[in-house]
Every structure is written in structure tokens, then in C-alpha cells.
Amino acid sequence: MIQLRTFQPEDAEKIISWVDSPLVFYQWCAGFLGTYPITAENLRQYYEKEGTDTDYHVLTAFHEQVIFAHLTMRFLKEEPGTARIGFLILDTNLRGQGYGKKLMQEILKLAFSYDHIKQVTLGVFENNPRAKACYTACGFQEEKEKEPKTYPCMGEDWPFYDMKLSRTDWEKGVFLKKQIESKGKQGLLLT
């Protein structure tokens, strides 16, 4: 069973252990947390500064009492009714095993438990196709832009996608329908 709780300073060591290269670092935080390599103290200090905002939630995810993921969720003042997921990272050893989808389902339950939230958004770099596939499987759709967005990372301009999932689509179970379609009728048992 996956559980979410507020980030604790002692979580930082475990979280940064998953950031094993500059590529992973910039895919994770786009440099908002400083430069690679990041330290546990850097992460703690960043969240101490951000911790005064009641619309900013820093979360740690557990499975069987072991930390396996980390993320933030902000309620956007500039876009009322929107929760923005950020800094999402999973334990390196658990990637590709379905934990991302299960975690995202828990995050969405949490976000939409707030009555004022009408949509959840996130951003993902083009060079992170596994993450994008996970978000798409959970029902997120690319927001259509007139011009492709880019963000400067590692001396390059990295294209990225803004993705969103509306409360209406989430309540209709769009992500479950997409899983059924992609696996075929025999591939998913709903209980």
C-alpha cells in the first residue's frame, strides 16, 4: 500500500541518492534546486525557504514503510483551481515496475480530495519519455501550445510538455480506460 506524508528533513539523504547523474538531476528539478551534485543539506534548505507557503506541499511516498518517491504539490494562486505536481522522482531501483502509476493514482486522489481543485498539471521534459508515458497512462494529456516550450538545461534548450488532467476526466476514469485499451480486454482486472 502506498502512503504519502509530509517531507521530513531526514528524508533528504535517501531522496538525493536517486539523483545519480546530471541528466537525472535536471530532468527532476530543471536546476531549481541549484546545480549538480545536490546535497541533502541543499534540499533541506530549499524546502525550509518554501515551507512558509501553505499552498506548497512537499511530500514523501512510502511502500511497506520504505521511502520510494518524492514530489511537491502546489495550489497555484495564478491559476485558481489548479494543483501543480513537481519534483517527482522515484527510487532508481523501482523505476519501470508500475510504482509511478500507482503513486500518481494516490497523488490524484489527494489533489482531487480538495474540492476547489479542478485540474492537476505537471511538466515533463521530452528527453524523459518513460515519465511522459507514465503520466499519459494515468490520463494526463499534453496541453497544446502554439510554440513548443523549452527550458535551458545543461547548456541546451530542452523541449518540455505541460500536461494536465481535469477533475471531470479523472472522475470518468480516463486513465483506467487508457490502460484497458493499451493492454486489451484480458490485460486488466478491475476489482
Which SS3 state, helix, strand or coil, does residue 152 take? strand
**pLDDT, tens only, 42-96:** 999 999 988 778 899 999 999 888 999 999 999 999 999 999 999 999 999 988 8
**Better pLDDT: 101 or 51:** 101
Of how many residues is the chain composed? 191
Choose among 118, 94, 98: nearest CA to 106.
98
For residue 2, give the nearest of 71, 92, 85, 87 by alpha carbon: 71
Global pTM? Answer: 0.88
Per-residue pLDDT reduced to its tens digit, 125-142: 999 999 999 999 999 999
Task: Please write the tens of the pLDDT for every residue from 148-183.
Answer: 799 999 999 999 999 999 999 999 886 565 555 555
For the cut 50, the answer to whether the pLDDT of residue 191 exceeds it is no
Most trustworthy range by pLDDT among 91-105, 108-122, 177-191:
108-122
pLDDT of 190: 33
pLDDT at 49: 86
CA distance 74 to 80: 11
- 7 pLDDT above the threshold of 90: yes
pLDDT on residue 144: 83
